[in-house]
Structure 1
Amino acid sequence: MIGILRAAVLGFVLLSVVYVLVSIYSRSERREKLEKKFDAGGVEGDRDAYIEMGMQAYKKSLRHRLLWLVYIIPAVVVSAIVYFVNYQ
């Protein structure tokens, strides 16, 4: 029983590290895209304000919410494997 809990905690820690890294990467890609769009021209106003508004919109976007799948998919896969191995 302790081994299962230890593996679950280790898995959660590893998935948390993956989530943080993917989140940082995705945020930096979005920021870079906003910067390039502003620098290309056609956008009125302050550059920093434009990027900040774009990042606020990103926080509410579907792409940002889909990052939670980093936790959900492995948990579902492991649960399905345990179920099929033990009960089928």
Structure 2
Amino acid sequence: MFGFIRLFGILLIALTVIYVSLSFYSRAVRRSKLKKKWHDGKQLVDRDTFVQRGLERYDGSIRRKLILGVYIVPVVVIGIIIYLTNFT
């Protein structure tokens, strides 16, 4: 049981590092796309306002929520492997 708790703790730490890195990367990519979109289109508002509004919409989008799969997928896969190893 102690081994499982240790595995789960290390996995949680590693997944958190991956999640934070992926989240920052995704937000930076979105920011650069918004800046390019502002530069290529009509400039009705200043660039900072346009980017800020775009990032607020991004925060509520499904793409942002899909990054949480970083936690869900590995835990489910490990659970399936443990189940298949022990009970089949």
TM range (shorter): over 0.9
> Matched residue of 1:82: which SS?
helix
String of CA shifts for 1:7-65, please: whole Å, max 9, x gaps: 11000000000000000000000000000000113241111111000000000001000
Residue in 2 that maps onto 1:37: 37
TM superposition score normalised by structure 2: 0.96
Query: Which residues of 2 match residues 1-88 of structure 1 at below 5 A?
Result: 1-88=1-88
Instruction: State how many pairs are aligned.
Output: 88
Q: Could you list the runs of 5+ residues in structure 1 that have no partner in the other structure? A: none
User: For the aligned residues, what is the CA RMSD?
Assistant: 0.8
Q: Hey, which bits of structure 1, 4+ residues long, moved more than 2 A? A: none
Q: Distance in 1 between matches of 2:51 and 2:41?
A: 14
Q: Could you list the runs of 5+ residues in structure 2 that have no partner in the other structure? A: none
Percent identity over paired residues: 40
Q: Distance in 2 between matches of 1:13 and 1:74?
A: 13
TM superposition score normalised by structure 1: 0.96
